[in-house]
């Protein structure tokens, strides 16, 4: 059956590859991008694929929570239901890592905004829905001051902390919704896949992007991921696995959610 799937960061890398696979399967795609020309070009390319179903495009800068609120409202105005949200957009290196709201761009794009999007779109999901969040093998204990933009970090540290923070809110939200809302799953798509992020950060060609796209399609659609509440799938080992120990610490996960909520209250006022 055709599903309605929203994927962020669909204009490059793993997101673009995943969007292409999903479109070719006949699913309805809500594509997100930040660059209007790139987004329009991707929409046209995907619409020309055999078997393409409906495709819509939404533009939003995911480093700006207020912009994302408007993005979520635009989706909700057009749609009463959504089957899958793939929070794929992410950032590693940044020349200027501080956003206009004073957040580190890694925490904004990789942690806070995916939470905001999931929370805002929650009313569209039934209990068979799925929220797939792009985690990483890079995970490090979260400095709450850095999450709130009060101290700066290296690219490495900000990225690894932002990905563990995302894995932690995924667990908290997934367990809270168990049996009555969408499955919330954090997925490491495999390490060092050959996207522009990996090429720019590590100067290597990287592995086939299809490895990441295939696991995201499985997480979005296949029965093995149905009803999975707050689990972490590690595609380096090809199985559900334990994230960093903080990622399954209920108290710490709760603390991360509280910190994100406080940031959103402050930044969206
Ligand atoms: N590649 C890997 O080995 C690997 C491993 C583990 C996890 N991941 C995760 O996989 C996801 C996809 O990454 P990728 O490797 O495919 O990297 P990528 O090619 O750099 O793609 C990142 C996507 O995010 C979008 N994006 C970045 N900042 C944004 C912002 N402020 N607002 C809106 N969109 C923004 C980019 O938009 P543009 O197209 O406009 O640049 C792009 O579409 C990320 O969450 C990443 O952390 C990747």
Which are the contacts of 202, defined by CB distance < 8 A and separation ≥ 6? 192
pTM for this model (two decimals) = 0.98
pLDDT surpassing 90 at residue 267: no
- Residue 268 above 90 pLDDT? no
Ligand 1 pocket: which of 19, 59, 90, 155 to mutate (most atoms within 8 A of CB): 90
In this prediction, what percent of the chain has a pLDDT beyond 70?
100
- Cβ–ligand 1 distance for 69 under 6 Å, the answer no
According to the model, what pLDDT value does residue 53 have? 86
Average pLDDT, the chain: 96
| Nearest atom within ligand 1 for CA of residue 108 | 31
Q: What is the pLDDT of residues 115-131, one digit of tens each?
A: 999 999 999 999 999 99
How much is the average pLDDT of 77-86?
98
Strands of the sheet containing 229-234, edge to edge, are 55-59, 28-33, 4-7, 84-87, 130-134, 183-188, 229-234, 239-241
Indicate whether residue 189 lines ligand 1 (CB < 6 A). Answer: yes
Round to whole Å and give the CA distance between 30 and 57: 6
- Are 187 and 216 in contact, with CB atoms under 8 Å apart? yes
């Amino acid at each position: 059956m055709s599903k309605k799937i929203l994927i962020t960061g669909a204009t490059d890398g793993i997101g673009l590859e995943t969007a292409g696979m999903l479109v070719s399967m006949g699913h309805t795609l809500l594509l997100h991008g930040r660059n209007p020309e790139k987004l329009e070009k991707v929409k046209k390319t995907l619409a020309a694929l055999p078997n393409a179903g409906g495709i819509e495009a939404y533009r939003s800068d995911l480093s700006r929570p207020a912009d994302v609120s408007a993005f979520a409202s635009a989706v909700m105005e057009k749609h009463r239901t959504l089957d899958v949200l793939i929070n794929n957009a992410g950032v590693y290196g940044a020349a200027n890592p501080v956003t206009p709201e004073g957040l580190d761009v890694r925490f904004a794009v990789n942690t806070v905004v995916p939470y905001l999007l999931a929370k805002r779109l929650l009313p569209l999901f039934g209990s068979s829905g799925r929220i797939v969040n792009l985690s990483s093998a890079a995970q490090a204990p979260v400095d709450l001051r850095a999450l709130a933009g009060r101290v700066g970090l290296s690219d490495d540290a900000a990225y690894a902390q932002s990905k563990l923070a995302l894995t932690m809110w995924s667990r908290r939200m997934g367990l809270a919704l168990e049996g009555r809302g969408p499955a919330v799953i954090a997925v490491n798509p495999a390490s060092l896949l050959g996207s522009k992020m990996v090429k720019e950060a590590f100067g290597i060609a990287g592995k086939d992007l299809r490895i990441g796209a295939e696991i995201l399609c499985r997480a979005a659609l296949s029965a093995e991921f149905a009803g999975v509440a707050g689990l972490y799938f590690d595609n380096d080992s090809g199985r559900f696995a334990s994230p960093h120990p903080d990622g399954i610490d209920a108290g710490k996960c709760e603390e991360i959610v509280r910190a994100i909520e406080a940031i959103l209250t402050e930044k969206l006022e």
